[in-house]
A and B are shown apart, each in its own frame.
Chain A
Amino acid sequence: GAVVSQHPSWVICKSGTSVKIECRSLDFQATTMFWYRQFPKQSLMLMATSNEGSKATYEQGVEKDKFLINHASLTLSTLTVTSAHPEDSSFYICSAPQGLAGWGEQFFGPGTRLTVL
């Protein structure tokens, strides 16, 4: 199957700093990618849909100014957590569909564990 990578796999930062997480589709192109957040012992919650060449679409309750998404190419989407605080500590997972838009099989990245001190 297709491969989606994330970098870094884990990151620890100080409160108030910004952190960038990359999501790459390694062997296919994706015009759309998705970002999820997962708190400990909870489910994956969809944060936003990243659209190549246009603005991301955020789910209700997600602060777009805090979670900046850039989908600059067909293989790369980035999520920047700005002015991170301890409550942003979470497991962030991206996914990308392969195939026809709206019919694709989803491929998930391995996740990035963010710890904000």
Chain B
Amino acid sequence: AQKVTQAQTEISVVEKEDVTLDCVYETRDTTYYLFWYKQPPSGELVFLIRRNSFDEQNEISGRYSWNFQKSTSSFNFTITASQVVDSAVYFCALSEAGTSYDKVIFGPGTSLSVIP
């Protein structure tokens, strides 16, 4: 069965600090997708990234970067120079070919608070 673990329940950082959100996943499939979503207080999910299992290249998008390591089944997310607007709950998620790529299973989420 697929599973996503986000060990950090809550994180608080001071503005401008860097912060890394951890994500560890379990799957029996060799083909799968990993995602990160942001959920601000409004509740609407904001898509951040989708990565397929064959692409282990790290990705950078502005202040966001992602480190995908299949060897440790991890897909960590780093925010550089955090800002108050980054305060939200962040979800790591997984979909696998065995059940259909469209079925997305979410991790428990990490609540990030950025303090001015």
**Residues B91 and A105 in contact, CB atoms below 8 Å apart:** no
Q: Confirm or deny: B103 has a beta carbon within 8 angstroms of a beta carbon on chain A.
A: yes
Residues of B at the A interface (CB closer than 8 Å) are 35, 37, 43-45, 47, 50, 91, 95, 97, 100-109, 111
**Residues B50 and A105 in contact, CB atoms below 8 Å apart:** yes
Which A residues are in CB contact (< 8 Å) with B35? 106
Which B residues are in CB contact (< 8 Å) with A41? 111
Main secondary structure of the interface of B (DSSP, over half): loop
User: A93-B45, A110-B43 known; A46 and B105 CB under 8 Å?
Assistant: yes
Residues of A at the B interface (CB closer than 8 Å) are 1, 32, 34, 36, 41-46, 49, 91, 93, 95, 97, 101-108, 110-111, 113
- Alpha-carbon gap, A102 to B83, bound state (A): 36
Which A residues are in CB contact (< 8 Å) with B45? 44, 93, 108, 111
Main secondary structure of the interface of A (DSSP, over half): strand
**Residues B100 and A95 in contact, CB atoms below 8 Å apart:** no
User: A103-B101, A104-B101 known; A44 and B106 CB under 8 Å?
Assistant: yes
Instruction: Say how far A105's CB is from chain B's closest CB, in angstroms.
Output: 7
Which B residues are in CB contact (< 8 Å) with A45? 106
**Residues B103 and A113 in contact, CB atoms below 8 Å apart:** no
Which B residues are in CB contact (< 8 Å) with A110? 43-44
- Alpha-carbon gap, A93 to B101, bound state (A): 18
**Residues B91 and A44 in contact, CB atoms below 8 Å apart:** yes
**Residues A102 and B108 in contact, CB atoms below 8 Å apart:** no
Residue of B nearest to A105 (CB): B50
Q: List 18 A-B contacts (CB under 8 A).
A: A1-B47, A42-B109, A43-B107, A43-B108, A44-B91, A44-B106, A46-B103, A46-B105, A95-B104, A101-B100, A102-B101, A102-B102, A103-B101, A104-B102, A107-B47, A108-B45, A111-B44, A113-B43
Which A residues are in CB contact (< 8 Å) with B107? 43
